[in-house]
Copies of this chain bind each other. A is one copy, B any other.
Amino acid sequence: MNIKEVAKLAGFSKSTVSRVLNDSPLVTKSTRKKVLDVIESVGFFPNYVARSLKIKETKTIGVIVPDIGNPFYFEVLRGIEKVLDKKGFNIMLCNSEYNEKKELRYISLLASKKVDGIIVAPSSEKSNGIKNLFTWNIPFVIFDIPQKKLKTNSILVDHSQCSYMATKYLIENGHKNIVVIDAFRPPGFKSKFILGYLKALNEYNIPINPEFIREALPDIVGGYSTIKKLITQKLYFTGVITICDLAAVGVYKAANKFNFKIPNDISVVGNDDIPLAKYLNPPLTTIHQPKYLLGYKSAKLLLSQIQNKKHNDIKVMKLDVKLIKRCSVKRRLENAD
């Protein structure tokens, strides 16, 4: 069943049917009714892929995240869905798994499928996929991971601010031997998360121990295996900050496994404040990130870019974070070490 058959049944031409489908004002009430009646009776619905081919607009947005299993991205997704649904857009969801190849493949696919725009949390700070988006002239906005030497529409959070606040809080609670678990970064890249950590250490004149600076996958396994290594290496530390709450959960798991108590033996502060963070055992002290808003703003920005067709004025927005004190950090006596 297509527009042509409907036209025949209604006794009008394709054009007229198309017009009523698109709420054109140039159709009489009576003919509109007749057409609508046959549409109703035969259960016709238009073929949007044909429509998209013609009008060059698919009303779908690609969303690429690095880990579909991380609650952080779910929250962002909720914000994205909220605004996109209201405007009649669909989401094509892609999971890059922090794999640049896969990310690139998805970007090409989305380009071929002619999505109207893309929202992406890049797999790293130097993503070739992102560069392609530029050259292909596809509207897009980035969130969470800014791109090195590339000015793009982005909704961000200051990761150095996160780690700075986390580290400072630990220091002020008497910790000196603080481990930082960062995400994997591109070779030679100065991680903002590490920078904030270093800044706090410097401010308090605490010596830097390179052994304490670690990279891992930002998930439970990553946090777990990092701490496991540290413990088996017999490194002494009392505090840990992590790139995300999931990694902090990994720290919990490792602590449990090796009979360290949190926060008594190991204090930890996470980053992002996933919905379940406050229900963990113990409730996780963490840096709250406005996840829903991150998604909401990203979608809004993308939509405005698509409508205005002005790719020239690029917008970068930084959202505020804040420290949420719960129970995973213990105050230590001064000079305990």
Q: Is A68 an interface residue (CB 8 A)?
A: yes
Task: Count the copies.
Answer: 2
Residues B94 and A45 in contact, CB atoms below 8 Å apart: no
Chain B residue nearest to A102 in the complex (CB): B85
A244 beta carbon closer than 8 Å to chain B? no
User: Nearest chain-B residue to A81 (Cβ)?
Assistant: B95
What are the residues of chain B within 8 A of A249 when measuring CB–CB?
276, 279
Q: Which of A35-74 contact B (CB under 8 A)?
A: 43, 45-50, 52-53, 58, 60, 68-69, 71, 74
How many Å from the CB of A329 to the closest CB on chain B? Answer: 16
Contact B52 A275 (CB under 8 A): no
In this assembly, does A109 line the interface, its C-beta being within 8 Å of a C-beta of chain B? yes
Whether a CB of chain B sits under 8 angstroms from the CB of A283 is yes
> Contact: A47 with B114, CB < 8 Å?
yes
Any chain B CB within 8 A of the CB of A306? no
**B90 near A95: Cβ-Cβ < 8 Å:** no
- One of B46, B47, B77, B275 near A68 (C-beta < 8 A): B77
Segment 263-316 of A: residues with Cβ below 8 Å from B = 275-276, 279-283
B residues less than 8 Å from A110 (CB atoms): 90
Select A113's contact among B90, B111, B281, B283, beta carbons within 8 Å.
B90
Residue on B with the closest CB to A89? B109
A310 to chain B, nearest CB (A): 23
Instruction: Check if A252 sits within 8 Å of B275, measured CB to CB.
Output: no
Q: Please tell me if the beta carbons of A49 and B111 are within 8 angstroms of each other in the complex.
A: no
A92 near B: Cβ within 8 Å?
Answer: yes
User: Using Cβ atoms and an 8 Å threshold, which residues of chain B touch A75?
Assistant: 69
Cβ distance A169 to chain B, nearest Cβ, rounded Å: 21
Q: Kindly list chain B residues whose C-beta atoms are within 8 Å of the C-beta of A111.
A: 45
A34 at the interface (CB under 8 A from B): no
Q: Are A93 and B95 in contact (CB under 8 A)?
A: no
Residues in B with CB closer than 8 Å to A48 are: 112-114
**Cα A275 to Cα B135 with chains together (Å):** 40
Q: Are A60 and B279 in contact (CB under 8 A)?
A: no
Binding site for B on A (CB under 8 A): 43, 45-50, 52-53, 58, 60, 68-69, 71, 74-75, 77-78, 81, 85, 90-95, 102, 108-114, 135-136, 220, 249, 252-253, 275-276, 279-283
Q: 8 new A-B pairs (CB below 8 Å) besides A74-B74, A280-B280?
A: A53-B53, A60-B92, A85-B102, A90-B109, A90-B113, A91-B92, A92-B92, A276-B276
| 5 pairs of A and B residues whose beta carbons are closest in the complex | A281-B281, A93-B93, A48-B112, A48-B113, A276-B276
